[in-house]
Structure 1
């Protein structure tokens, strides 16, 4: 049986497809391919459970032509949008589609109702292929580091043992204010490495300057692969609702996952199959205000981040 799994974005959502591919591969005589955007190919590079990676082309017609040429027996649509609908229609291939529960999520967000069961996204994905006899192996997500790296080459000598703090996130309301990050870093029992992209390099500089050499700012300096490597070597990981924090789950490290305007229950993206984890957030009548985060707090107070209990995070990482 030849199967094409589709998920175009984003980093976290694609990361959580890796158990689906791994579990599909346990079926007898199955060949598994995956289609995504070129920007996310790194997630499946070196993945031993995937037989072939297809990349979305600029022209959807070209992508459809490529799909037709592969003669798939089944499409597993884990994205469920207009483009995947067109692909399924124009290829005529038998398909199964992930239920995004759009209405229930919208009502839950708009009226602060709990209409979506707090089931992890991996398990929601797996329901899509349950009819094939696929069984959840209850293992963490998969991520394979691309090159050999060295802590000694990436970090100063003072950081042989360290905590990783992922301070990057696409939207402002997913990020903790610098002052609280500074306060947490000052209380950690080990040196801290800040991780993120160029967009938070300035934040990292402010935090490192305030705390001193105990904190090393790697934001915008390390490549993604190097950042993942550092996460894999950290004693513990603290991070916001962002891709690198989710990738850290592949290495079964203690993870403190910090949530501001978004909530993990709605999206089903709390740490998955990690031996030790903390999901930190505060209960507020205005939370969640968004599924994916916003550029600013709609009410101006940003209590969802400023009122998070620092001691809970410190106790988790220091024990």
Structure 2
């Protein structure tokens, strides 16, 4: 059985989509799963053994370009038995329709009647988790999801990891604390730089090194964290934000002894690498998209106004993050690592 997946547009969602791929392989052993997605997702998909191929989708988020979608669809005609769509947009349903794929499965979304012929009505109470909404599409409507649920697990090539370490002149002589202070979603997901800097300072004083990860837009935030460290400590903090490819970021994160991250795509990557992880939540909720791994501590204040799921704070104070001081995160690291962290 050949299955085409129309992939999501966010890093974290793509990582969580591996649970769907695992369910499909369980239900249809040996099936071929190809994922149509933006090029940035290729390094993630290449580290998922359930996926046969990552197919490049050249159109940016929100771009219609009907002619291009028709051309892509026609190029895929006759190759697949089923298409499963993870986005809920009308645009995402066009390529499978133009490809003439016999079974086109997805949740009811933007007027997709006719484009989909296996259209599902989502019961949000039955499937509160994002992964449940993904996994349910592997089965017939109404089918129970067997527990325990599968978890994303990215596979790393040691040679690729060594190449990334060499390129950036990094060493594993000292344990690595990876910090992921960015979040493409918006400011309401970003724990303040001064709090990250305090955690970095404490670990460096313990003999650790700190690596900062993120996209190019996160590079200034990384420098803000470094600038808050005194000389002598600052040299043990490396800002990799905007410097690595996605593939390199994944491989380097797999080398971390522990990770502290906002609710972001890199948080889900760290969880899928099974790194000890402290996840900091502000405007969003771990009840919807929690990191899926064994060694996870979730830290949040749970204010009355959160989760609001807003990109920016409607009150302007961001108290769900600003009032979340370093101590709870440090305590969470201590529990994960099994050793005390001295506060100075």
Measured against the shorter chain, the TM-score band is 0.7 to 0.9
Unpaired runs of 5+ residues, structure 2, are: 60-67, 110-123, 339-344
1:21-70: CA deviations, max 9, x gaps? 13312323522222112332222125432223322245110122123231
Residues in 2 aligned to 1:156 and 1:32: alpha-carbon distance in whole angstroms: 36
Shift of 1:309: 4.1
Unpaired runs of 5+ residues, structure 1, are: 101-114
Matches for 1:231-246 after TM superposition, within 5 Å = 231-246=253-268
- 8 Å contact from structure 2 (residues 70, 94) kept in 1: no
- 8 Å contact from structure 1 (residues 145, 229) kept in 2: yes
- 8 Å contact from structure 2 (residues 161, 248) kept in 1: no
Residue in structure 2 matching 1:205, options 214, 223, 229:
223
Tell me the number of residue pairs that the alignment of Structure 1 and Structure 2 aligns.
298
Q: What RMSD in Å do the two structures reach over aligned CA positions?
A: 2.8
* More helix, by proportion: 1
Q: Does 1:270 align with 2:290?
A: yes
Residue in structure 1 matching 2:92, options 76, 84, 92:
84
Shift of 1:247: 0.7
Give the direction of change, closer, same or farther, for the CA distance of 1:205–1:223 in structure 2 (3 Å limit): same
Q: Give the equivalent residue in structure 2 for 1:106.
A: none
Residues in 2 aligned to 1:43 and 1:158: alpha-carbon distance in whole angstroms: 23
- 8 Å contact from structure 1 (residues 43, 143) kept in 2: yes
Shift of 1:82: 0.6
**Secondary structure of residue in 1 paired with 2:34:** strand
**Secondary structure of residue in 2 paired with 1:181:** helix
1:56-92: CA deviations, max 9, x gaps? 245110122123231x222112222112333454436
**Secondary structure of residue in 2 paired with 1:68:** coil
1:163-206: CA deviations, max 9, x gaps? 11111211222111211111222233433211112222222222
Q: Give the equivalent residue in structure 2 for 1:281.
A: 300
Q: Give the equivalent residue in structure 1 for 2:331.
A: 315
Residues in 1 aligned to 2:96 and 2:242: alpha-carbon distance in whole angstroms: 39
1:252-304: CA deviations, max 9, x gaps? 11111111222232xx21111x11111221222322232xx52x422111101
Shift of 1:13: 0.9
Shift of 1:244: 1.4
Residues in 2 aligned to 1:229 and 1:297: alpha-carbon distance in whole angstroms: 34
Q: Give the equivalent residue in structure 1 for 2:246.
A: 224
Residues in 2 aligned to 1:208 and 1:175: alpha-carbon distance in whole angstroms: 16
**Secondary structure of residue in 2 paired with 1:246:** helix
**Secondary structure of residue in 2 paired with 1:25:** helix
Q: Give the equivalent residue in structure 2 for 1:184.
A: 199
